[in-house]
Structure 1
Amino acid sequence: MVQDGMTWLLNPPEQNLPLILADGGFDVWIANTRGTRYSCRHTSLQPNEPGFWNWSWDEMVVFDLPAVFDYVYSQTGQKAHYVGHSLGTLIALASFSEGLLVDKLKSAVLLSPIAYLSHMNTALGVAAAKVFAGEITTLFGLAEFNPKGEPVAKFLKALCDYPGVDCYDLLTSITGQNCCLNASTVDLFLKNEPQSTSTKNMVHLAQTVRDGVLAKYNYGNPNFNVMHYGEAKPPIYNLSNIPHNLPIFISYGGKDALSDVRDVELLLDSLKLHDVDKLTIQYIKDYAHADFIMGVNAKDIVYNQVVSFFNHQR
């Protein structure tokens, strides 16, 4: 969401998933989320124009992820395995449910998956979701949500003053208590991240927290929704539409405050009709949200399983 593809490469080469996969003979492509530093170009708009930021994760579902798959397919002529973490799992699940990507997809690995967010329990995240659900655009008038810019920094400082919110350890206050991070890697992470996203995207995520369903962006007015969707309420992404024979590997953590265990169980319930032999579930009791990307033992606990899963699909 507010991270680019560099986050996958913060651990040493022998401990980060892209290079482990490359060493295993896989052709690895790393995508960047729109709005982050390597994904700020547009055919006609500049990042200083509000129109550049007029999108939410719906656009990633319909345009961005399919464009990545189309490009990789055009270069390789092969279906791809997909790995997503956090927002990367949300947009993948929504895309699969809409019948997108599946013709160019071999299998999918979803680490710390987010589809439902009702039980998210980070104090900072809950406070932010409440504010964003009140349509923060009216507070800011900002199209770009830049965590390192002065207006957003002031907003975050105000959130950190909320009762029960402790921002002393910013990463923990967002992700939960990670078990297995190296301090120097965290320092590197905080130098590079967080990066910009659209304010509209933050509002959409807050709606997902508040409404308890996976739905398209709610314009806040039934008439506006009718204009965009032909109906007064935004359409739901129906995860049970995901092809039941698509090989999926899901790994989630017991200490994850963003991808809460109860929300993952809701996701798994929506996949209950999935072919049993096509769904692999891994539960890691001590892991929180960032451990899946930067954990010093992620190679042994998660990545070796991912490589084995992909090799099984070859």
Structure 2
Amino acid sequence: MLLRLEDVSSIVLIILEQFVSFVTFLLPERLILFFTRVVKFIFSRFKTNDINYNRFLVKDKLQDDKLLQRIEDLRSAASFKELCELNNFKVQNHLIQTTDGYLLTAHRLNPELNGFKPNGQIAYFQHGLLMSSEIWVLMNDKDLNLPFRLCEMGYDVFLGNNRGNKYSNKHVSLSTSDPKFWDFSIDEFAMYDIPCTIDYILSYTNSKSLTYIGFSQGCSQILASVSINKDLNSKISKLILIAPATTPKRLCNWLINSIVNFKPSLLFLLFGKKILMKSTLFWQRIMYPPFFIKMIDLPNKILFDWRSENITNIQKIICYFHLYSTTSVKSVVHWFQIIRSKKFQMYHDSNIFNAFEYPTSTSIAIPDILLIYGMSDSLVDITQMLDHVPLKSSKMTVIGVEKYEHLDLIWGKNTEYYVLDNVFKFLNESET
């Protein structure tokens, strides 16, 4: 395979990041603390229009400020349970074994346990790529977290986690040090994780159906899963798709477009066959928080042309520290195949046979669907997206939000108006 100049540049940058991570890991803690103080001093010189963020930059003792202490508590929370407790919610953890042996954690917000009257309805949330269940409960304003609001309304709320992330990294026989543990893609999420989780929830609650709420890849997973498990149609009464991605547009930067075109063998050589971007956890731990959010905003701008102007800096301080969770390299290789082919297809490793496309357009028959997307989101091709859902068998409401990008729809300044209110309206209308 002949490599172009941009391909060589991409490979060099990937290797450079891994080298810098390794060297930084070897540095003594005192030296890292010194660099942190220098960065903090530099950041404190530059004020913004966000008063609370400016206070965060100059405060040495955050505990003296109730708001900033809450921001710091949410930022540094180590678990989903801790995030819920900071918002005065009690959570239960459920362990779900898939038919291929993975142990998944689903969190449950039981309305009765939290002092609310149950309404007999189930809501199941599923996160996106390189994420965990934590993404749903990170808004500083408690009332802007959709799972909490639905629990208050009486919904029995469950939040799922994909195999391989921080809450689902066990298997009945495989260790996480075994490459076989990480041999999964979107196919396994669709064939095992989603149907096993839904069946567990319905069996545990003795319910016939539930409302599914997905973000990003969480939308792709349910569409793929229903297309190959047709009985799921009767188990999902309402489907809510937030920033759905099935066949993303071609990405915005030569670097990522170059990497997308790499053969799987080269990608596995560069990233290994286990965890993708594991170094993110290291940088997250040692970086000064305002500097870390800049290091997230910058690649988001370069790779996806996201400006992140609808998310406040103080909200980013919380959210960006919970944005990343582990997944397999193969999952991302699968997405690259989808982007390159412009088809919502299963993982393809054959030079003989054509890739198998998920039969979404002929297999989905969920009665009520709500789709909310950002009109400035480079990852969502709404035309292609609508082709995957058959309008003949489903009633669909499509809402496009102007000047909103991918992450804006869960953490943006006006999510109450653009997302929560529309979700509540949809749920109320479909129940009447």
Taking the aligned partners of 1:247 and 1:238, their CA distance within structure 2 comes to 19
Partner of 1:229: none
Bigger relative CO (Cα 8 Å, ≥ 6 apart): 1
Partner of 2:18: none
Partner of 2:3: none
Partner of 1:20: 149
Partner of 1:300: 417
Partner of 1:203: 333
Q: CA deviation at 1:270?
A: 3.8
Taking the aligned partners of 1:96 and 1:234, their CA distance within structure 2 comes to 19
Q: List per-residue Cα deviations over 1:209-258 (Å, max 9, x = no partner).
A: 00111111101432xxxxxxxxx123111221233452111111111122
CA separation of 1:2/1:289 partners in 2, compared to 1, >3 Å: closer, same or farther?
A: same
Taking the aligned partners of 2:282 and 2:300, their CA distance within structure 1 comes to 20
Q: List per-residue Cα deviations over 1:153-201 (Å, max 9, x = no partner).
A: 9xxxxxxxxxxxx976234445522342121221222222322111111
1:119 maps to a residue whose letter is R
TM-score, normalization: structure 2? 0.62
Partner of 1:156: none
The alignment of Structure 1 onto Structure 2 pairs a total of residues equal to 289
**1:89 corresponds to 2:89:** no
Partner of 2:5: none
Do the aligned partners of 1:254 and 1:285 also contact (CA within 8 Å) in 2?
yes
Do the aligned partners of 2:377 and 2:406 also contact (CA within 8 Å) in 1?
yes
TM-score, normalization: structure 1? 0.84
CA separation of 1:168/1:202 partners in 2, compared to 1, >3 Å: closer, same or farther?
A: same
Partner of 1:103: 234
Unaligned runs of 5+ in 2: 1-128, 285-294
Aligned pair partner of 1:6 in 134, 146, 155: 134
Q: CA deviation at 1:17?
A: 1.1
Taking the aligned partners of 1:117 and 1:284, their CA distance within structure 2 comes to 17
Q: CA deviation at 1:102?
A: 1.4
2:174 maps to a residue whose letter is L
CA separation of 1:286/1:43 partners in 2, compared to 1, >3 Å: closer, same or farther?
A: same
Please identify the structure whose Cα radius of gyration is greater: 2
2:136 maps to a residue whose letter is W
Q: What is the correspondence of 1:66-215 to structure 2 with a 5 Å cutoff?
A: 66-78=195-207, 79-98=209-228, 99-121=230-252, 125-131=256-262, 135-148=266-279, 169-175=298-304, 176-215=306-345
1:76 maps to a residue whose letter is T
Partner of 1:238: 359
Do the aligned partners of 1:130 and 1:206 also contact (CA within 8 Å) in 2?
yes
CA separation of 1:194/1:47 partners in 2, compared to 1, >3 Å: closer, same or farther?
A: same
Say which SS state the counterpart of residue 28 (structure 1) adopts.
Answer: strand
Say which SS state the counterpart of residue 339 (structure 2) adopts.
Answer: helix
Do the aligned partners of 1:174 and 1:257 also contact (CA within 8 Å) in 2?
no
Do the aligned partners of 1:120 and 1:257 also contact (CA within 8 Å) in 2?
yes
Identical-residue share of aligned pairs (%): 27
Do the aligned partners of 1:66 and 1:100 also contact (CA within 8 Å) in 2?
no
**Which range is displaced more, 203-212 or 142-151?**
142-151
Do the aligned partners of 1:167 and 1:173 also contact (CA within 8 Å) in 2?
no
Do the aligned partners of 2:264 and 2:333 also contact (CA within 8 Å) in 1?
yes
Do the aligned partners of 1:50 and 1:144 also contact (CA within 8 Å) in 2?
no
Unaligned runs of 5+ in 1: 154-165, 223-231
Taking the aligned partners of 1:181 and 1:187, their CA distance within structure 2 comes to 10
Q: List per-residue Cα deviations over 1:125-146 (Å, max 9, x = no partner).
A: 4344234656401334332213
Do the aligned partners of 2:251 and 2:303 also contact (CA within 8 Å) in 1?
no
Do the aligned partners of 2:252 and 2:302 also contact (CA within 8 Å) in 1?
no
Partner of 1:45: 174
Taking the aligned partners of 2:195 and 2:390, their CA distance within structure 1 comes to 26
Say which SS state the counterpart of residue 345 (structure 2) adopts.
Answer: coil
**Which range is displaced more, 179-188 or 298-307?**
179-188
2:359 maps to a residue whose letter is N
CA separation of 1:240/1:142 partners in 2, compared to 1, >3 Å: closer, same or farther?
A: closer
